[in-house]
Structures are given as structure tokens and as C-alpha cells.
């Protein structure tokens, strides 16, 4: 079959890499792709948000299956448009994807169906948000309602930071239209875990757990990013926590969405905080996470195409999804200045020196004059598996050590919580 992958980041590189392993797949296209994806698929110069262009390509190119990586086209209704045109596509509908497209929609659904999450209040007026923060103080979490590429969340430990965040989102418009509405939440305390699950709208099959590292610097310091690394599985996600999360959060959310007329098919992502009262929802996303997808798909031992086709045929319960009994770690190499202002066009050296057992997923890269250059904030996701978390970390950093570009920054402690728990 011919497959089209929509997107051009590290997540999409991991998806292409896993799809390439399927004997069912004869040819892969990726729009727009990147310099790394180009080694596995034919890159097509169409934006991930150009839905008419993508649909025309799929119809004209005889594409048998389209897989959507990023949230923006999902929230813009790419699945609905493709299905209306008779094209097979994997991902949630626009109505279902609104659990990521609007934090207020997601929080309101959770409130209606008693799904455990942080207490919250939503505002469309700046003065009312300021008054709420003045009265309730800090710590709190301030979130832009709409899509902000993983950066529209500010954890405020004091009132001044919270008020500055409200101003940044609603007045300065640092996240554009995503700041038309704003959510202020209580600050949950605990350890975070990411749970991705496959669902056909009725059946729900969780993937192996993972943990993202959002802050830019070691020891979880500095501003939030789109993710500086991840590992799987996460020891904090014990069998008891898993049982509670599935029973109280994941399955109830799929049932709630169906009841709301938003039947969800695809990959659903729950960002959870494991608190003293049990798991609570930080956020829901409507797609594979990034960078969690890189280690999670590294450990997937079942043909991804078979899973996707089972979901599209509403028979997810008929397939046995298996995972490797290993650990995997992804370390993100980012441009200097990220998540703020950064330069592009830096030549990346050492890619040909990385050990064979280490996979380098490209995120923000391009070709120029025969060389691979930086073209984004998060540039590469160096990923490796091992028999345990310690061996996976050792392997991944051996790969990182071979790569360099001007201004390169990365965290040196990805997976540290897993090591602490193992000790």
C-alpha cells in the first residue's frame, strides 16, 4: 500500500520509520517531511496545514492510507475532509480533536463526567482573570485555551508570575489566537506520566507508559518546551496506577466523548500527574505525543499498519498488541536559544558517526548544499533501547556525543527519575 504521513517533525520520522517496517507498506510519502525522513520516504512540499493540497495529493497519488502527526490539521478537520472525499485516514474527527484544540472544552467534559483533574476556572476577559488570580493566589497553572505548540502553559509559583502569564497570553498575545480564552488551574503536585492509547471509539488499548521532560534545563529548571526528551516505560506508572487510570480516566473519557457526539478514533494522549490522591489529568492530546512517540514506537513489537486498520474497521479488540520487554530513551538536541529566539541554518556534524543501534529521529532539519542543517527549535531526537533504563541511557548518550552543531543544547538527565526509582 501507499501511505502518506502528514507532518515533518521527530514524531513523524518515528511514524515513518515504524511504518517502513511493515511488509504491507510499499511506498511512503511525507508532507512536508525533513532531511531525516527523506532517507525513508518521498518528501512532498505541502504544509501539514494545507488540507486541500494534502487531499488533492492523496487522491491524485493513489494514497491508500493517510496518517496525521500534528495537532493543527486534526483540529482544523483534516479527518472529516478526507473521509468526505472517500479517503482512508487515521486520526480523530475535528469534534473529537477539540479535547486538545480547546482546554476549556476538555476541562468542561471532564467536569461533567467526574474525570479527575485539577480544579479550574476559564476566562475570556483579562480583568476577570486578573481578579481571580489576585483572590486565589499561587501556585497555579495558567494555560492558553487553544493550540500553542506545547508552550502555552505557565506554572506560576508566585502571584507575580501568574499575573505576568495572564498578561502574556491575553494582552501581549504571545500565543496569538490561542489566548482568546484562558484557563487558571490549581497546581497539582506529583510525578508526571504520559499515557497514549489506541481506540476505535469503543475498545481502548493503552500503549506502554512514558515520561516527557518539558523543562529546557537539567533538574527540571527553566521554561517549558515542546519536550526535551522522554523515556519508556515509566516506573511511576505501576500496575495499580494503571488500573486506576484506565478505570477512572482513559475509558471514561472515551465513553464521555461518545456520549457528547464526539466519537474518538485514533490515538488519544493523556498527560497525567500521579498525586497522593491518585492519577489526575493535566491535559489530553488528540494524537501521538512528541517526543514520547520516539521511545514508545521503538518498543512496539506489532505491525503499526495492522493496528491502524483494526481501528478504522472498528475491530481493535481483534488484535493482540505486543511490546518489547526493554526500555527506550529519547534525548532532544535543540537549537541555542530555544524555546525562545534561535537561529537556523547551522551545519549538523557527526550523524554518520552515531552507533548503528542508536536511531536519530530528525525534528527540525533540512538540506542545504549537500549538508544537513538545523531548521527548527528541536532539531534531533536521539533514541536508543536497552535491556533496562540504565543501559538505554548509556546507549543514547553515546549517540549524542557523536553529534554537534553550533549552539546545540540538550538535557543530560533524561530518565533520571526512572534511575532514582530503580535504586
Each residue of 174-202: pLDDT tens digit? 999 989 999 999 999 999 999 999 999 99
Model confidence at 223: pLDDT above 90:
no
pLDDT, tens digit (0-9, with 9 covering 90-100), for 155-177: 999 999 999 999 999 999 999 99
Domain spans, the chain:
2-91, 125-180, 191-318, 327-422
What span, in angstroms and rounded, lies between the C-alpha atoms of 81 and 95? 13
- Mean pLDDT for the stretch of residues 338-367: 97
What span, in angstroms and rounded, lies between the C-alpha atoms of 94 and 76? 6
Position 18 scores a pLDDT of 98
Confidence band for 423, pLDDT divided at 50, 70 and 90: confident
- Strand 42-43 and strand 27-32: the pairing is parallel
Model confidence at 57: pLDDT above 90:
yes
- Mean pLDDT for the stretch of residues 42-47: 98
- Mean pLDDT for the stretch of residues 125-135: 95
Model confidence at 307: pLDDT above 90:
yes
Position 37 scores a pLDDT of 98
In CATH terms, 327-422 corresponds, of 3.30.420.40, 1.10.760.10, 3.90.600.10, 3.30.470.160, to 3.90.600.10
pLDDT, tens digit (0-9, with 9 covering 90-100), for 105-121: 999 999 999 999 999 99
Model confidence at 354: pLDDT above 90:
yes
Model confidence at 220: pLDDT above 80:
yes
CATH topology of domain 2-91: Rossmann fold (3.40.50)
- Mean pLDDT for the stretch of residues 377-381: 98
In Å, the largest CA–CA distance within the chain is: 60
Cell numbers representing residue 34 in the block: 525533513
Full-model pTM = 0.95
- Mean pLDDT for the stretch of residues 247-253: 98
Position 375 scores a pLDDT of 97
Q: Which CATH class is domain 125-180?
A: alpha beta
Q: Counting every residue, how long is the chain?
A: 423
Which numeric CATH code is attached to 191-318?
3.30.470.20
Q: List the beta bridge partners of residue 273.
A: 192, 280
- Mean pLDDT for the stretch of residues 304-312: 98
Confidence band for 151, pLDDT divided at 50, 70 and 90: confident
% of the chain beyond a pLDDT of 90: 96
Distances from the Cα of 89 to the Cα of 53, 67, 69, 110, 420, angstroms:
15, 6, 11, 27, 41
Amino acid at each position: 500500500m501507499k501511505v502518506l504521513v502528514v507532518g515533518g517533525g521527530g514524531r513523524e520520522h518515528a511514524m515513518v520509520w515504524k511504518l517502513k517496517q511493515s511488509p504491507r507498506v510499499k511506498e511512503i510519502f511525507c508532507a512536508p517531511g525533513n532531511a531525516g525522513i527523506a532517507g525513508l520516504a518521498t518528501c512532498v512540499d505541502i504544509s501539514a496545514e494545507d488540507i486541500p493540497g494534502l487531499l488533492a495529493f492523496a487522491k491524485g497519488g493513489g494514497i491508500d492510507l493517510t496518517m496525521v502527526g500534528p495537532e493543527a490539521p486534526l483540529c482544523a478537520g483534516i479527518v472529516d475532509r478526507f473521509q468526505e472525499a472517500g479517503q482512508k485516514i487515521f486520526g480523530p474527527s475535528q469534534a473529537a480533536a477539540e479535547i486538545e484544540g480547546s482546554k476549556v472544552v476538555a476541562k468542561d467534559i471532564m467536569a461533567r463526567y467526574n474525570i479527575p483533574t485539577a480544579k479550574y476556572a476559564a476566562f475570556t476577559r483579562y480583568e476577570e482573570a486578573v481578579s481571580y488570580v489576585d483572590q486565589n493566589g499561587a501556585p497555579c497553572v495558567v494555560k492558553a485555551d487553544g493550540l500553542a505548540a506545547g508552550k502555552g502553559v505557565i506554572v506560576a509559583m508566585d502571584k507575580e508570575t501568574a499575573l505576568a502569564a495572564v498578561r502574556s497570553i491575553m494582552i501581549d498575545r504571545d500565543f496569538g489566537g490561542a489566548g482568546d480564552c484562558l484557563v487558571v488551574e490549581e497546581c497539582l503536585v506529583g510525578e508526571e506520566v504520559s499515557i497514549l492509547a489506541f481506540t476505535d471509539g469503543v475498545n481502548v488499548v493503552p500503549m506502554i507508559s512514558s515520561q516527557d521532560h518539558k523543562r529546557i534545563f537539567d533538574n527540571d529548571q527553566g521554561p517549558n518546551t515542546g519536550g526535551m526528551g522522554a523515556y519508556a516505560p515509566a516506573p511511576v506508572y505501576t500496575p495499580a496506577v494503571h488500573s486506576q487510570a484506565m478505570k477512572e480516566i482513559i475509558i471514561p473519557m472515551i465513553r464521555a466523548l461518545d456520549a457528547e457526539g464526539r466519537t474518538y478514533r485514533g490515538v488519544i494522549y493523556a498527560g497525567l500527574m500521579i498525586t497522593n490522591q491518585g492519577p489526575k489529568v493535566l491535559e489530553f492530546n488528540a494524537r501521538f505525543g512528541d517526543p514520547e512517540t520516539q521511545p514508545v514506537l521503538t518498543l512496539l513489537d506489532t505491525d503499526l499498519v495492522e493496528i491502524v486498520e483494526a481501528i478504522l474497521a472498528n475491530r481493535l479488540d481483534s488484535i493482540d498488541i505486543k511490546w518489547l520487554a526493554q526500555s527506550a530513551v529519547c534525548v532532544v538536541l535543540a537549537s541555542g536559544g530555544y524555546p525562545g529566539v534561535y537561529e537556523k541554518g547551522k551545519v549538523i556534524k557527526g550523524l554518520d558517526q552515531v552507533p548503528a543501534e542508536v536511531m536519530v529521529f530528525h525534528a527540525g532539519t533540512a538540506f542545504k548544499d549537500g549538508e544537513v542543517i538545523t531548521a527548527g527549535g528541536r532539531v534531533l531526537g536521539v533514541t536508543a533501547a536497552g535491556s533496562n533504563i540504565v543501559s538505554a541511557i548509556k546507549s543514547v548518550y553515546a549517540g549524542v556525543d557523536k553529534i554537534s552543531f553550533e549552539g546545540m543544547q540538550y538535557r543530560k538527565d533524561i530518565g533520571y527519575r526512572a534511575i532514582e526509582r530503580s535504586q
